[in-house]
Amino acid sequence: MSSASAQKSVAVIGGGPAGLMAAEVLAEAGVAVDVFDAMPSVGRKFLLAGVGGMNITHSEPYKAFVARYGARHAEVQQWLDAFGPDALREWIQGLGIETFVGSSGRVFPADMKAAPLLRAWLHRLRGSGVRFHQRHRFIGWADDGRLRFMTPDQEVLFRADAVVLALGGGSWARLGSDGSWVPLLNEKGVGVSLLKPSNCGFDVEGWSPLFSGRFAGAPLKSVMATVRLTDGSFISREGECVVTATGVEGSLIYALSAMIRERIEQEGAAELRLDLLPGKSVEQLQAALEKPKGKNSFANHLRKATGLDGVKAGLLRECAAGSLGSPAEVAVAIKSLPVRLVATRPLDEAISTAGGVRFDAVSTDLMLTALPGVFCAGEMLDWEAPTGGYLLTACFASGRVAGQGVLEWLGKMPVRL
């Protein structure tokens, strides 16, 4: 480590995966790094993401993996080419934590937990000299260029040679990602797209009180969901979701949330088509339903003939009550049940956000063109991805790119790790 590099100081604002990864790149290059976070401890949203199993990345082929980033796949691929899913797994192993691939292709730490990974990482960062400042909320820049932070006691000013902003999106405000940075960057002439819910639930036009009261919280397992895109094509996904008091949510809905949100924005509503029994054809269902039902009620006949009961049968009656006359009509409704979605759930309920700092406002190394020496990373940039490890992988990778960009800005070459 040269004396010149020791004199360089970088402030990383935001203690999530993107910010911590930028801090690691910088610290290992011998730069003095101070990490500031508004919360009492860093990585709070990361730890929440690990509740129920820390899905760190995904093992699917790289081309398919990159395609998950939708309209921003080209920009995100530049990050992933430098630090993709395989590199991330190797990096985790370097922390002494093994990973495994689950049956769905998702990648998890061996113990399925986020806390041991974060503890090991923070231990390594502190060992490399990174200093952490909790309960420091970023509130902008002083007239002389120093960074302004509000603590529980007073305002604090800090001068740095470069800055990495990794302030998250606008969801989960109680964990620190509240979008309060948007007006701060707008004041500096930075282009920021409106923050919108992503990986979120949706409200329907209105469940009946009977249906909502009986089935709110019930899981819809093994269904196929289809949405028509704005170009007229269709996209389908199979999986699970949950009926809520006002609509639907869950992994299957999250995977389609960007397309659903776009249709609602453009047309005021989006029609979700649900195949309640993906393993059976219309013809099979119709033939089964045409068998004599005897003294059975419609519900019993439906259950015995098709296996449809519970929340699926309730949803069928809720959304297609007027078209359940003949066996053919019932079969078609089971295979293509229309659910009209009219609004996203509030931003703070979303797992992540779309929108943020526009890519035309940053260079390829993620430096803000309006603020030389200030870099952005993570979810505060204008991209989105479904759950399944894609969000985290790109956050890690963007932090890596920003950290290396800072090193170049400081006149240093990136260090091979």
| pLDDT tens column, 136-154 | 999 999 999 999 999 999 9
| pLDDT tens column, 276-292 | 999 999 999 999 999 98
- The domain that contains 144 carries what CATH number? 3.50.50.60
**Is residue 103 in some structural domain?**
yes
Quick one: what percent of the chain has pLDDT higher than 90? 83
Does 151 lie in the same domain as 254? no
**Is residue 416 in some structural domain?**
no
Of 344, 374, 394, the one marking the end of a domain is 344
Query: Using an 8 Å Cβ cutoff, are 234 and 282 in contact?
Result: no
Does 258 lie in the same domain as 235? yes
Cα(138)–Cα(145) distance, rounded to whole angstroms? 13
Bridge partners (DSSP) of residue 58 are: 106
The pLDDT score that the predictor gives to residue 412 is 57
Range 375-383 average pLDDT? 97
**Is residue 359 in some structural domain?**
yes
Range 262-269 average pLDDT? 94
Does 167 lie in the same domain as 249? no
Range 396-405 average pLDDT? 98
Which of the residue ranges 23-27, 32-36, 46-50 would you say has the lowest mean pLDDT?
Answer: 46-50
Does 60 lie in the same domain as 161? yes
pTM of the model: 0.89
**Is residue 271 in some structural domain?**
yes
| pLDDT tens column, 77-129 | 999 999 999 999 999 999 999 999 998 899 999 999 999 999 999 999 999 99
Does 383 lie in the same domain as 271? no
Does 365 lie in the same domain as 274? no
Does 67 lie in the same domain as 122? yes
Cα(272)–Cα(340) distance, rounded to whole angstroms? 6
Asked if residue 252 has pLDDT above 70, the reply is yes
The pLDDT score that the predictor gives to residue 232 is 84
Does 252 lie in the same domain as 314? yes
* Local confidence band at 417 (pLDDT 50, 70, 90 cut-offs): very low
* Local confidence band at 48 (pLDDT 50, 70, 90 cut-offs): confident
The better pLDDT of the pair 44, 75 is held by 75
The better pLDDT of the pair 413, 134 is held by 134
The number of distinct structural domains making up the chain is: 2
**Is residue 417 in some structural domain?**
no
The pLDDT score that the predictor gives to residue 27 is 97
Cα(248)–Cα(251) distance, rounded to whole angstroms? 10
Burial of 290 from C-beta contacts in 10 A (0-12 / 13-18 / 19+)? middle
Tokens 């080209």: give the residue: 74
DSSP 339-391: EEEEEEPPGGGSSEEEEEE-GGGB-TT-BBTTSTTEEE-GGGBS----TTTHH
DSSP 266-296: HHS-EEEEEES-TTS-HHHHHHHHTS--TT-
Which of the residue ranges 134-148, 293-307, 364-378 would you say has the lowest mean pLDDT?
Answer: 293-307
- Containing 35, the helix (H) or strand (E) segment is strand 32-36
Asked if residue 347 has pLDDT above 90, the reply is yes
Query: Using an 8 Å Cβ cutoff, are 164 and 155 in contact?
Result: no
Asked if residue 4 has pLDDT above 50, the reply is no
Q: Which of 346, 379, 387, 347 is nearest to 254 (CA)?
A: 387
Of 293, 319, 344, the one marking the end of a domain is 344
Cα(316)–Cα(329) distance, rounded to whole angstroms? 11
**Is residue 414 in some structural domain?**
no
**Is residue 305 in some structural domain?**
yes
Cα(399)–Cα(97) distance, rounded to whole angstroms? 20
Does 7 lie in the same domain as 153? yes
- Mean pLDDT, rounded, of the chain: 93
Does 329 lie in the same domain as 250? yes
Of 315, 344, 373, the one marking the end of a domain is 344
The pLDDT score that the predictor gives to residue 5 is 40
**Is residue 21 in some structural domain?**
yes
- Containing 343, the helix (H) or strand (E) segment is strand 337-344
| pLDDT tens column, 175-229 | 888 999 999 999 999 999 999 999 999 999 989 999 999 999 999 999 999 999 8
The pLDDT score that the predictor gives to residue 274 is 97
| Residue 291: φ, ψ to 5° | -65, 145
Q: Which of 166, 77, 161 is nearest to 412 (CA)?
A: 161
Give the structural domain span for 117.
3-197+353-409
Does 23 lie in the same domain as 93? yes
Does 304 lie in the same domain as 253? yes
The better pLDDT of the pair 324, 308 is held by 308
Quick one: what percent of the chain has pLDDT higher than 70? 97
